[in-house]
């Protein structure tokens, strides 16, 4: 795993965007694996700026998002479909038919997981962007998730529900389940960029980089990825 430590969040966002901008220039028809959460927002803003300057286009890009809450309609303001439109898709020329995100309000969730897994088999991510949970999760693959998992429904852990409750009006509104791309499908990406910002991620970053590779810290599996870059700001990197 290559590690880049930046002075602050803005530099982290800039560094991450450089890799994606380079991909968009060299391979305009690419598959971009995208993440939600607060960490990639600065990266997405930089991509919007590059698009507005005419440096890059998304018109041939296929997106593949990591996860979605179960039970939230795609217009709910805390759904990840809404987040992606608000923070990236509405501001660039990506085609709506090329947007892919698990459907957390599908009637048959099992069928939806199979559909999404089949889509990923045919659309390997050129770059997969990841955040990291304070418990080391990637996507919503919580501790204990097998490394060969495919898209599946998860019960969110108490720590994830608590972390994410800051975005809801109260903790009871946070969905208890989600659909997530599996760790096996993340590991098949040609390149992985994992972003970590802030001191509350420092232990997870330590476990990811220096800990044993095991399912108690799902992100530790990335030590086995042939082309993974961790970009952490100095607060998140303070234990490594």
For the CB of residue 131, give the shortest distance to ligand PGA in the complex, in Å. 3
* Residue 17: CB minimum distance to ligand PGA, A: 16
Nearest to ligand PGA of 102, 131 (CB atom): 131
Long-range contacts of 204-209 (CB under 8 A, 24+ apart): 204/132, 204/133, 204/134, 204/135, 204/136, 205/132, 205/230, 205/232, 205/236, 205/237, 205/239, 205/240, 206/239, 206/240, 207/136, 208/132, 208/136, 209/1, 209/3, 209/240
Pick the closer one to ligand PGA by CB: 5 or 195.
195
Contact between residue 179 and residue 112 where contact means Cβ atoms under 8 Å apart: yes
What strands, in cross-sheet order, belong to the sheet with 127-130?
Answer: 2-6, 228-233, 192-196, 127-130, 31-34, 62-65
Three-state DSSP class for residue 191 = coil
> Can you read off the two tokens belonging to residue 20?
């994606």
Task: Give min distance, CB of 57 to ligand PGA, in A.
Answer: 26
| Least CB distance to ligand PGA at residue 123 (A) | 21
Question: What residue is closest to ligand PGA based on CB?
Answer: 37
Cα distance between residue 54 and residue 130, in whole Å: 26
Q: How far is the CB of 36 from ligand PGA (least distance, A)?
A: 8
Which residue number, 131 or 175, has a Cβ lying nearer to ligand PGA?
Answer: 131
- Listed in sequence order, the residues at least 6 apart from 111 whose beta carbon sits closer than 8 Å to its beta carbon are none
| Catalytic residue annotation | 67, 135, 137, 142
Under the rule (CB under 6 A), what is the footprint of ligand PGA?
A: 37-39, 131-133
Give the nearer residue to ligand PGA in terms of CB position, either 40 or 184.
40
In the chain, how many H helices and how many E strands? 7, 9
């Amino acid at each position: 795993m290559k590690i880049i430590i930046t002075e602050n969040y803005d530099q982290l966002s800039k560094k991450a965007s450089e890799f994606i901008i380079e991909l968009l220039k060299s391979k305009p028809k690419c598959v971009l694996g995208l993440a939600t959460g607060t960490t990639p927002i600065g990266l997405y803003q930089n991509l919007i700026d590059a698009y507005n300057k005419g440096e890059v286009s998304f018109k041939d890009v296929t997106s593949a998002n990591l996860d979605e809450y179960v039970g939230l309609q795609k217009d709910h303001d805390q759904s990840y479909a809404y987040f992606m439109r608000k923070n990236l898709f509405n501001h660039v020329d990506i085609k709506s038919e090329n947007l892919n995100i698990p459907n957390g309000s599908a009637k048959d969730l099992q069928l939806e997981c199979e559909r999404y897994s089949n889509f990923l088999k045919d659309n390997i991510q050129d770059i997969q962007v990841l955040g990291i949970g304070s418990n080391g999760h990637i996507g919503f693959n919580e501790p204990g998730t097998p490394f060969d998992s495919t898209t599946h429904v998860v019960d969110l852990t108490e720590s994830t529900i608590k972390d994410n409750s800051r975005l809801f009006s109260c903790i009871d509104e946070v969905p208890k389940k989600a659909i997530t791309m599996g760790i096996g499908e993340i590991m098949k990406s040609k390149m992985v960029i994992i972003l970590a910002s802030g001191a509350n991620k420092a232990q997870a970053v330590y476990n990811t980089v220096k800990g044993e590779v095991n399912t108690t810290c799902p992100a530790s599996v990335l030590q086995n990825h042939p082309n993974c870059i961790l970009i952490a700001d100095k607060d998140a990197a303070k234990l490594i």
